[in-house]
Chain A
Amino acid sequence: MASPDKTALSRRALLSGAAGSAALATVARADDPAITGMQEWNQYLGDGVDAAPYGVPSEFEADVVRRDVPWLTADPVSSVNFTPLHKLEGIITPNGLCFERHHAGVALIDPAEHRLMINGLVDRPLVFTMEDIKRFPRENKVYFLECAANTGMEWRGAQLNGCQFTHGMVHCVMYTGVPLRYLLEEAGVKTNAKWIMPEGADASAMTRSIPLEKALDDCLVAFAMNGEALRPEQGYPLRIVVPGWEGNMWVKWLRRIEVGDEPWHHREETSKYTDLLEGGKARRFTWEMDVKSVITSPSPQAPITHGKGHTVISGLAWSGRGTIDRVDVSLDGGRNWQTARIDGPSHDKALHRFYHEFDWDGSPLLLQSRAVDSEGWVQPTKDALRAVRGTESIYHNNSIQTWHVRDGGEVENVEVG
Chain B
Amino acid sequence: MSKSVDTVILVAAGLLCAVPAMADTFGLGRPATQAEIVAWDIDVRPDGEGLPEGQGTAVEGEEIYAEQCAACHGDFGEGIDRWPVLVGGVDTLENDRPVKTIGSYWPYASTIWDYVHRAMPFGEAQSLEDDEVYAITAYLLYMNDIIEDDEAVLSHETFGDIVMPNADGFIPDNRATVDEMVGGAPCMKDCTAGPVSVTMRARVLDVTPEDEN
- Report whether A281 and B202 are in contact in the complex, using a CB–CB cutoff of 8 Å: no
Q: Which residues of A contact B24 (CB under 8 A)?
A: 185
Contact B178 A117 (CB under 8 A): no
Q: Inside 8 A of B94's CB, which chain A residues have their CB?
A: 278-280
Asked if A378 is at the interface of the complex by the 8 Å CB criterion, the answer is: yes
Chain A residues whose CB sits within 8 angstroms of the CB of B114 once the complex forms? 264, 266-267
Residue numbers in A under 8 Å from B178 (CB-CB) = 388
Partner of B100, one of A117, A265, A271, A370: A271
CB distance from A257 to the nearest CB of B (A): 11
Q: B41–A265 contact, CB under 8 A? A: no
Contact between A265 and B108, CB atoms less than 8 A apart: yes
In the bound complex, CA of A380 to CA of B187 (Å):
12
A356 to B46, CA, bound (A): 51
Interface size class of B (residues with CB under 8 A): 35 or more
Asked whether A258 lies within 8 Å of B188 as measured between CB atoms, the reply is no
Of the listed stretches B1-9, B51-59, B120-128, B130-138, chain A binds B120-128
Which A residue sits closest to B47, measured CB to CB? A262
Question: Among the listed A104, A127, A157, A413, which residue makes an inter-chain contact with B119, where contact means beta carbons less than 8 Å apart?
Answer: A104
Q: Give the residue name and chain of the A residue nearest to B179 (CB).
A: A388
B144 close to chain A: CB less than 8 A: no
In the bound complex, residues from chain B placing their C-beta under 8 Å from that of A161 are: 202-203, 206, 208
| Beta-carbon contacts under 8 Å, B34-52 to A | 36-37, 40-47, 49
Q: Are the C-beta atoms of A127 and B170 separated by less than 8 Å?
A: no
Chain B residues closer than 8 Å to A278, beta-carbon distance:
94
**A78 lies within 8 A of B196 (CB):** no
Q: How far is the CB of A84 from chain B (nearest CB, A)?
A: 10
Which has the most chain B C-beta neighbours within 10 Å: A199, A270, A282?
Answer: A270
Among the interface residues A73, A280, A300, which one has the most CB atoms of the partner chain B within 10 A?
A280
Q: How many A-B residue pairs have CB under 8 A?
A: 253
Q: With an 8 A cutoff between CB atoms, is B197 at the interface?
A: yes
Contact indicator A265/B111 (Cβ below 8 Å): yes
Contact flags A131-144 to B (C-beta < 8 A → 1, else 0): 01001110000000
Mark out the residues of chain A between 251 and 277 whose CB falls within 8 Å of any chain B CB in the assembled complex.
255-256, 258, 260, 262, 264-267, 270-271, 274, 276
Q: Is the CB of A204 within 8 A of B119?
A: yes
Q: Is the CB of B45 within 8 A of A414?
A: no
A69, A137, A264: most-surrounded residue (chain B CB, <10 A): A264
Q: In the complex the two chains form, what is the Cα distance from A384 to B30 in whole Å?
A: 53
A205 proximal to B (CB < 8 A)? yes
Within 8 A of A (CB), among B70-89: 72, 81-83
* CB under 8 Å from chain B, chain A span 226-256: 255-256
B199 contacts the other chain (CB 8 A): yes
Complex contact A203–B195 (CB within 8 A): no
Cβ of A332 within 8 Å of any chain B Cβ, yes or no, is: yes
| Contact present for B202 and A412 (CB under 8 Å) | yes
Report the minimum CB–CB distance from B196 to chain A (whole Å): 3
Is B28 interfacial (CB-CB < 8 Å)? yes
CB of A124 within 8 Å of the partner chain:
yes
A159 to chain B, nearest CB (A): 5
* Contact B198–A414 (Cβ < 8 Å): yes
Minimal beta-carbon separation of B183 from chain A (angstroms): 5
Q: Kindly state the separation between the CA atoms of A124 and B33 in the bound complex, as whole angstroms.
A: 10
Does A126 contact B170, Cβ atoms closer than 8 Å? no
> Cβ of B16 < 8 Å from any Cβ of A?
no
- In chain B, positions 99-114 with a C-beta closer than 8 Å to chain A are 100, 102, 105-108, 110-111, 114
CB A248 to nearest CB in B, in angstroms, measures 14
Q: Which of A326-341 contact B (CB under 8 A)?
A: 328, 332-338
- Contact at A203–B123, with CB atoms within 8 Å? yes
Report the minimum CB–CB distance from A16 to chain B (whole Å).
31
- Given A158-B202, A270-B106, A276-B100, residue A258 in contact with residue B41 (CB < 8 A): yes
- A287 within 8 A of partner (CB): yes
- Inter-chain contact A283/B172, CB cutoff 8 Å: yes
Are A186 and B29 in contact, with the CB atoms below 8 A? yes
Least Cβ–Cβ distance between B137 and chain A, in angstroms: 13
- Given contacts A267-B111, A370-B186, A378-B182, are A186 and B170 in contact (CB under 8 A)? no
C-beta contact mask, A189-224 vs B, less than 8 Å → 1, else 0? 000000001010001110100000000000000000
Partner of B111, one of A104, A266, A285, A338: A266
* Chain A interface residues (CB < 8 Å from chain B): 62-63, 65, 67-71, 73-75, 78, 103-104, 117-120, 124-128, 132, 135-137, 157-162, 165, 182-183, 185-188, 197, 199, 203-205, 207, 255-256, 258, 260, 262, 264-267, 270-271, 274, 276, 278-288, 290, 300, 328, 332-338, 366, 370, 372, 375-378, 380, 384, 388-389, 392, 404, 412-417
Starting from the known contacts A104-B123, A186-B25, A270-B111, 13 additional A-B residue pairs (CB-CB under 8 Å) come to A71-B207, A74-B72, A118-B29, A120-B41, A158-B201, A205-B118, A260-B45, A262-B46, A276-B98, A280-B169, A378-B182, A404-B198, A404-B201
Chain B residues near A (Cβ < 8 Å): 20-21, 24-26, 28-32, 36-37, 40-47, 49, 72, 81-83, 93-94, 98, 100, 102, 105-108, 110-111, 114-115, 118-119, 122-123, 125-126, 169-175, 178-184, 186-192, 195-203, 205-209, 211, 213
A-B contact pairs, 15 of them (CB 8 A): A71-B207, A117-B36, A118-B29, A127-B29, A165-B209, A197-B43, A205-B126, A270-B107, A282-B170, A335-B192, A337-B186, A337-B187, A378-B182, A415-B199, A417-B196
